[in-house]
Structure 1
Amino acid sequence: MAEQTQDPTIRVDKWLWHARFFKTRGLATKLVAGGYLRINSRRVSKPAQTVVPGDVLTFSQARAVRVIKVLAISERRGPASEAQTLYEDLSPPKDSVPPAPRYEGKGRPTGKDRRNSLLSRR
């Protein structure tokens, strides 16, 4: 029998789980089945869709849009350091959110504020 050399392929839900974008494979499957994933700008709704190195995946995760280029296929779900070698993040940079406003001394004083005001009166 002759060996056939095939490009490595993997199911998209399994790859997303291996690359640690989702905690469980079921969550990755729900994202794909819901039609919230695009592979090379094509909407995908079947978790069995295969991906190969070079594909670009676009999906939302935690209120942010992720754009990921597949670099490699793994045999197992390994540690995070290994998972980071599977993809290149092409996502736009996150907008910096201004910090919450600081307390300006308005409102009810704290116990520390009251003690400090008593000490300053003496």
Structure 2
Amino acid sequence: MTKEEVLEKMEEEKESVKSKILYGQSSNSSANGCGWCFDVINHAIDLVEQLDEPKKVIIPQFVADRIEEAKEHYGSEIDPLKIVYWAGSHIIDSDSHYEWLENIHNQELLFNAIANGYEVEN
């Protein structure tokens, strides 16, 4: 679930609680509880908005091409490990491409690119 999806769900819940308070859909005894809940939801929304999003990594064009090919091959339900396997087994264009994938730092970049998104280096 993305940060935006969490915020959307929390806003929906906040509106639901707000309606209960404003339109008397709760008894007087539980109205105070709804008010407290409203404050808690607002505080939670503030905290979620402060969360850092994972930064997109920068990868070479040939790696981005392999990731996109893997997505086409495996369909919309993407298992990151399958994409890593696909990308690794299809990076045979040149020795330099193979060497790129042999580097442990680059393997981490590849996995991070699949998990959090990526930008292509210029």
TM-score surpassing 0.5?
no
**TM-score in terms of structure 2 length:** 0.23
Q: Which has the higher contact order (CA 8 A, sep 6+)?
A: 2
More helix by share: 2
Find the structure with the greater CA-based Rg.
Answer: 1
Higher strand residue share: 1
